[in-house]
Structure 1
Amino acid sequence: MIDVQRLAVLREVARHGSFNQAAQALYCTPSAVSQQIAALERSLGAPAVERSTRGVTLTDAGRLLVEAADAIAAELADTQQRIERLAAERISLTVATFASAGRRLLPAALAAFVADHPEVELTILEAEPEESLPDVREGRADLALAYHLDGPPPARPGDRSGLDWTPLGTDPLRVVLGHLHPAAVRYQARPEPPHLAELADQRWILGCRKSADQLARHADLAGVELQISCTATDYDFAQSLVRAGIGVALIPEIGLTRHPELVALPLAEPSPRRHLGLALSRRRRGPAARLAEQLASLIAEQAEGTARQ
């Protein structure tokens, strides 16, 4: 029989990559952590970790154990929240969202939801997908409005993610220029999206750090090297720098600020984009899960309406 407490210790070792840091997180000694892992390995008859001077890595058996530990932790967190809600005789719903979607997609959906369910205690968390998806998986949130970049979605049917992913469509990144910029003037005369290579000599302002990696990949595809003048963490700030004449910005469509001095142009394909979606836990049951599904449906309707505008 696998000891659940030892699984929890292995989970911390995997999370931190060393016995010392896992011990700090568990408020015990590295020796105690090592003893727990050794006892787990004896019960399995197989090594769970590989030790080296550079730290600790999981074996194939260790990775399976950590997946099981994640599932157990999520189930326990879900059960604890359900018990707390029963004790309090109330229903709460926690929604995690990244900022630009929270500003553009959530308000109308939340207004309709609250009007239908005034008894629900609603909590909104601002979080990027790397935080919000684990929040849903581990029971800290009921629903996440998230995105992924290139590649497969964060969850697929039958996988081990513990999540159901509902696509909401794409959020293309636009190049934002001053309305008198030559590329903006050309586009008004002949609406053909500029190629990234045509803007290679510009100073670039990025609205978030992730778009820097995306832009770099697309610049490689175009065979150009771009000058990044600023990598901000706020789309409004990035667009204010464009208005000041500092450079051109790369901004997701739902993060655009409409301003008469700015023009947002599509880029010729292949162009960078984000893929929006909703994440729900497969393990959640009961009233909160049903309410999360209702809210997810409202958000999806709002996203469709926004796409048609």
Structure 2
Amino acid sequence: MELHQLRILRELADLGSVNAVAKALYVSPSAVSQHLAQLQRGFPAALTQKDGRRLVLTAEGKLLASAAASVASTLAEVEAKIRTQDQDLEVPIHIAGFHSIGQTIFAPLLTYPEGELPPLRFSDEDVSQQDFPALTSGYDLVLAHRMPHTAPWPEERIAVIPLAFEPLDIAIHRDHPLAAYSELSPEQVIDERWVVSRSGYSPADVLETIAALAGRAPMVEHRVNDYATAGALIEASKCLGILPRYTARNTLDETVILRPIKDLNSGRQIDLLLRAEHLHRGTVNDVINAIRSTVQRLVIS
């Protein structure tokens, strides 16, 4: 049993397929399969099994994958003790985030004084909620969002740091007749024309709830995930939209205003996801604190 074999097993647990593991580790799928076969020779119980065309972990495989995560955490702790703070400051921190959080906080994080934070490398990842945890395989930190009524993050595999709760509001042109109201009920808005995200994303989830409360299906004219584009369509067409209160604010024209939804606690939790071993790195914790402060300023501004 070797460390790289344990890592491959852990990646299979997190990413869900041999092809995804191969892509993440920059090796061929056959190499992944060979390493798994070598690891299997050391155990009498099966570590993997076929589920249709996919290779998945057995209960024993999941147990060993969990142990692999513990090994990685222990090694990271020792490495952090050996490496000096100056050496650690030279190692870039790779951060992924959904589009609207990236538009809002990536640039402010680069304004910290030189030497206060390590080099930061940003990527935007427009994925469905259930796909955020797997991103921790390729990034040090992942900014993710989750609707409160959905399944929690898999905290047996990743660490979760709550950042903020962001309400989702009705976005409406200021000249629209409904803009005169300080809040809008599902019954008031359900018969309007809509621009919302694709299914599986927060705005579409909220619109489905509005439809259920109003008892009628919405008239969706545009499916757009980018909030700036959605705002432009609301401005031009007088459609209604559903946008996050804090992270969409800077992308909206002044003619588009936000109104809370009456009697509906609509919103999303913004969290920071990471593999637990990264918490042993002082520079990662420095970046976490900077992200937390930046998000907090966004909420109270």
Which TM-score band (shorter chain)? 0.7 to 0.9
Aligned pairs, number: 289
Residue identity opposite 1:273 in structure 2 = G
Residue 231 of structure 1 and its aligned partner are, at CA, apart by 1.5
Aligned pairs (5 A) from 1:132-143: 134-135=134-135, 137-138=136-137, 140-141=139-140, 143=141
Q: What residue in structure 2 maps to residue 27 of structure 1?
A: 28
Residue 125 of structure 1 and its aligned partner are, at CA, apart by 2.8
Q: What residue in structure 1 maps to residue 188 of structure 2?
A: 198
Does structure 1 retain, via aligned residues, the 8 Å contact 2:96–2:125? yes
Q: What residue in structure 2 maps to residue 272 of structure 1?
A: 266
Q: Which of these residues, 157, 160, 167, is aligned with residue 161 of structure 1?
A: 157
Residues 266-305 of structure 1: per-residue CA shift (max 9 Å, x gap):
1112242111234455423344134224413532541443
Residue 173 of structure 1 and its aligned partner are, at CA, apart by 1.1
Instruction: Tell me, yes or no, if structure 1 residue 125 matches structure 2 residue 123.
Output: yes
SS in 2 for 1:160: coil
Q: What residue in structure 2 maps to residue 213 of structure 1?
A: 205
Counterpart-to-counterpart distance in 2, 1:28 and 1:123: 28
Q: Which of these residues, 240, 249, 263, is aligned with residue 248 of structure 1?
A: 240
Residue identity opposite 2:208 in structure 1 = A
Q: Which of these residues, 232, 252, 256, is aligned with residue 224 of structure 2?
A: 232
SS in 2 for 1:56: strand
Q: What residue in structure 2 maps to residue 299 of structure 1?
A: 294
Counterpart-to-counterpart distance in 2, 1:243 and 1:115: 38
Residue 235 of structure 1 and its aligned partner are, at CA, apart by 0.8
Does structure 1 retain, via aligned residues, the 8 Å contact 2:133–2:158? no
In structure 1, list runs of 5 or more residues that go unmatched.
none
Aligned pairs (5 A) from 1:53-72: 53-70=52-69
Give the alignment's Cα RMSD to 1 decimal.
Answer: 4.0
Counterpart-to-counterpart distance in 1, 2:271 and 2:67: 26
Counterpart-to-counterpart distance in 1, 2:252 and 2:16: 45
Q: What residue in structure 1 maps to residue 147 of structure 2?
A: 149
Percent of pairs identical after alignment? Answer: 22
Does structure 1 retain, via aligned residues, the 8 Å contact 2:85–2:282? no
Aligned pairs (5 A) from 1:40-55: 40-51=39-50, 53-55=52-54
Does structure 1 retain, via aligned residues, the 8 Å contact 2:88–2:283? no
Residue 140 of structure 1 and its aligned partner are, at CA, apart by 3.2
Residues 89-117 of structure 1: per-residue CA shift (max 9 Å, x gap):
83544443333223334544543xx2263
Residue 237 of structure 1 and its aligned partner are, at CA, apart by 0.9
Structure showing greater Rg: 1
Does structure 2 retain, via aligned residues, the 8 Å contact 1:73–1:138? no
* CA 1:125–1:75: 2 relative to 1, 3 Å: farther
Q: What residue in structure 2 maps to residue 174 of structure 1?
A: 169
SS in 1 for 2:262: coil
Does structure 1 retain, via aligned residues, the 8 Å contact 2:10–2:65? yes
Counterpart-to-counterpart distance in 2, 1:11 and 1:52: 18
* CA 1:139–1:11: 2 relative to 1, 3 Å: closer
Q: What residue in structure 2 maps to residue 98 of structure 1?
A: 98
Residue identity opposite 2:124 in structure 1 = E
Counterpart-to-counterpart distance in 2, 1:7 and 1:124: 28
Counterpart-to-counterpart distance in 2, 1:8 and 1:180: 57
Residue identity opposite 2:189 in structure 1 = L
Residue identity opposite 2:166 in structure 1 = D
Counterpart-to-counterpart distance in 2, 1:138 and 1:75: 17
Counterpart-to-counterpart distance in 1, 2:30 and 2:207: 45
Counterpart-to-counterpart distance in 1, 2:116 and 2:6: 41
* CA 1:152–1:117: 2 relative to 1, 3 Å: farther
Larger RCO of the pair (alpha carbons < 8 Å, separation 6+): 2
In structure 2, list runs of 5 or more residues that go unmatched.
none
Counterpart-to-counterpart distance in 1, 2:63 and 2:74: 17
Residue identity opposite 1:115 in structure 2 = P
Does structure 1 retain, via aligned residues, the 8 Å contact 2:145–2:268? yes
Residue 252 of structure 1 and its aligned partner are, at CA, apart by 0.9
Residues 196-223 of structure 1: per-residue CA shift (max 9 Å, x gap):
2332222210156512234224433443
